[in-house]
Amino acid sequence: MLCILLIRDEGIRLSRYLEKLCVISIISLVFIVFIKEFIDVKYINTIETVLLILVIMTCIFLAKGIPFYMSSAALIIGHILIFKYKMGYAIWLDGITKNLPLAILFVVVPVLSIPLKEGGYLQAFNYYVRKYINRTCSLFFILSSSVFGLGSITNLGSIRIIHALVEEVEFPAKFLAKVYGVGFASCIAWSPYFASVNLVLYYTGVSFGNYFAFGLIYGICILLLGNFLFYRDLSCQREVKNSIQQMGELTENSKKIRDLILNLMGLFIVVVIGERVFDFSSMMLMVSFLAVLYAASWSIIIKKFTAFIRELKSYDQNILQVKNELVFFLSVGFFGVVLANTPLQNLIEKFFSGISGFSTFFVIEVIIIITVLLSSIGIHHVITVTALGLSLQPQLLGLTDLSFALTLIAAYTVSMIVSPFVPFNIIAGGLIKENSFVLGLKWNRTFGLAVVLLSGVYISVVNMVW
């Protein structure tokens, strides 16, 4: 018994040591990456590569579940292919650093949640939730729109934030699954603070300034579609009315809500302007840089800068929360680059050349459906999107660069809605205490199929006129 306890204690100490090493290496890597953007220092590329390898190794050891298995498989298979096809160091380095800007984004962007929490905006929002609690369609719109707005800067954190606000009401799990699905899917499509938009624009070479308006319209269409489907779902509305309980009143603070909306708008205006002002090697690095500046400025304006600094001192926990996503995207980026240098690229091009003679709508639907089907059986949509983004030329498909980017984002979005293996459905399922298969393949299935059709129509129109 004593031996078992000693082994367990040693395991805990080793895990804590690895966590500290992981955090230190990630923070060091972030600083090195940004230093490299502004000044040219001797051996800085070598230091960056060493730190990146250390980050991947520590994150792999700390990762659990699906991210661990998929990241390990991507790295192992990728290296096997490198040796099999005798690829050089240049391809290895390109692969291992391909999604580094995206990893930086994951680490840095959660800083924006600090002024959001410290500013008292969430309490003000709670007033409107309680005000419309007996008007189910209005409540659904408020909640899904809130995820749409908050999710654009806090990513999956928005689900936890909204759930904390409505948890005591005891809404039906099905209702919350639909709220979270509609709200989250609609912000995946347009926010520069999301991996989906950054990853696809990075691979397709489309600037955020050119994409933003089309992505935002697409996201709003998804939001409205989800609300329309709920409006037609009378049985779910009855479940909500039968389950809600009246709650105590809160004081209205509409100024806080206005300030929050203005700050959210400011975030995206800053990115659009920043893309024209700054000359970063990647838009993701620019977004990360601006996120820190904006969060600090926001905290100063609301007189919470001391709290902002205090939260930064304990930011190591935020870093550890994204370790799974960080190593997964680094591994998938590596795997995608390697695949793009194998005969598989020719097979992908040959298949899509065969269907390029069909209508644009058909080609778009095929890309989306293939990605969703693979994601639904456990092959993560990021792998498919990466392979397609790095292997295909839009002109081969009869698509513009913008339309191709929208197609890949649509595939990413629908996969997030219906696949039971994605983080969104797993986290949302845990919060509402329901199986992720029920969330994706049952409750949000109709919504997912509707988004597939909507995407085909919308992107076809964009492809014709732009």
pLDDT tens-place string over residues 203-242: 888 988 889 899 999 999 999 999 999 999 888 888 887 7
Alpha-carbon distance 147 to 145, whole Å? 5
Say yes or no to pLDDT of 407 above 70: yes
- Torsion sign over Cα 356, 360, 361, 366: positive
Most confidently modeled range among 269-283, 354-368, 442-456: 442-456
Exposed (0-12), middle (13-18) or buried (19+): which is 342, by Cβ within 10 Å? middle
Q: Which of 3-7, 130-134, 243-247, 268-272 has the lowest mean pLDDT?
A: 3-7
> Into how many domains does the chain fold?
1
- What is the reported pTM? 0.78
Say yes or no to pLDDT of 96 above 70: yes
Cα torsion at 345, 405, 200, 34 (round to 10°)?
120
Say yes or no to pLDDT of 364 above 70: yes
Q: Which of 46-60, 157-171, 289-303 has the lowest mean pLDDT?
A: 157-171
Task: Report which of residues 141 and 4 the model is more confident about.
Answer: 141
Say yes or no to pLDDT of 326 above 90: no
Exposed (0-12), middle (13-18) or buried (19+): which is 131, by Cβ within 10 Å? middle
Say yes or no to pLDDT of 461 above 90: yes
Task: Report which of residues 362 and 262 the model is more confident about.
Answer: 362
Q: Of all residues in the chain, what percent are helix, strand and coil, respectively (each to 5)? A: 80, 0, 20
Q: Find the mean pLDDT for residues 124-139.
A: 74
Q: Of 404, 411, 399, 402, which Cα lies nearest the Cα of 356?
A: 399
In a domain, 386, yes or no: yes
**End-to-end Cα spacing for the chain:** 70
Q: Find the mean pLDDT for residues 88-102.
A: 89
Exposed (0-12), middle (13-18) or buried (19+): which is 260, by Cβ within 10 Å? buried
Alpha-carbon distance 48 to 57, whole Å? 14
Burial profile 220-258: b = 16 or more Cβ within 10 angstroms, e = fewer: ebbbebbbebbeebeebbebbeeebeeeeeeeebeebee
List of E strands, 361-447: none
Say yes or no to pLDDT of 5 above 50: no
Q: Which two tokens stand for residue 104?
A: 């930086």
In a domain, 144, yes or no: yes
Rg (CA), the chain: 22
In a domain, 138, yes or no: yes
Most confidently modeled range among 75-79, 105-109, 135-139, 349-353: 75-79
In a domain, 60, yes or no: no
Amino acid letter, residue 48: E
Q: Which of 122-136, 298-312, 387-401 has the lowest mean pLDDT?
A: 122-136
Exposed (0-12), middle (13-18) or buried (19+): which is 418, by Cβ within 10 Å? buried
In a domain, 158, yes or no: yes
Yes or no: say if 398 and 459 are a contact pair by the CB < 8 Å rule: no
In a domain, 32, yes or no: no
Yes or no: say if 237 and 175 are a contact pair by the CB < 8 Å rule: no
- Per-residue confidence (pLDDT) for residue 2, from 0 to 100: 46
Q: Find the mean pLDDT for residues 365-389.
A: 87
Q: Which two tokens stand for residue 329?
A: 């995207």
- Per-residue confidence (pLDDT) for residue 122, from 0 to 100: 64
Helix 208-232 to helix 254-277 angle (10° resolution) is: 150
Which parts of 42-109 fold into alpha helices (H)?
44-62, 65-84, 89-97, 100-108
Element (H, E) at 281: none
In a domain, 137, yes or no: yes
Say yes or no to pLDDT of 4 above 60: no
Alpha-carbon distance 275 to 270, whole Å? 8
Q: Of 46, 31, 153, which Cα lies nearest the Cα of 97?
A: 46
- Per-residue confidence (pLDDT) for residue 162, from 0 to 100: 74
Q: Find the mean pLDDT for residues 319-336.
A: 85
Q: Report the 10 Å Cβ neighbour count for 204.
A: 21
Task: Report which of residues 255 and 173 the model is more confident about.
Answer: 173
Mean pLDDT of the chain: 84
Between the CA of residue 94 and those of 98, 193, 268, 336, what are the distances in Å? 6, 23, 30, 10
pLDDT tens-place string over residues 11-37: 567 778 889 999 999 999 999 999 998
Yes or no: say if 113 and 184 are a contact pair by the CB < 8 Å rule: no
DSSP 358: S
157 pLDDT band, cuts 50/70/90, is low
Alpha-carbon distance 427 to 277, whole Å? 37
> Which residue range forms the structural domain that includes residue 297?
111-465
CA angle 271, 116, 175 (to 5 degrees): 100
6 pLDDT band, cuts 50/70/90, is very low
Task: Report which of residues 314 and 244 the model is more confident about.
Answer: 314
| Phi/psi of residue 120, nearest 5 degrees | 75, 20
- Percent of the chain whose predicted confidence (pLDDT) is above 90: 30
Task: Report which of residues 386 and 366 the model is more confident about.
Answer: 366
Q: Report the 10 Å Cβ neighbour count for 60.
A: 18
- Per-residue confidence (pLDDT) for residue 369, from 0 to 100: 94
In a domain, 256, yes or no: yes
- Per-residue confidence (pLDDT) for residue 39, from 0 to 100: 86
Q: Find the mean pLDDT for residues 365-376.
A: 91
Q: Find the mean pLDDT for residues 370-384.
A: 85
Amino acid letter, residue 172: P
Alpha-carbon distance 382 to 319, whole Å? 21
Q: Which two tokens stand for residue 249?
A: 């009143």
Q: Which two tokens stand for residue 327?
A: 């190593």
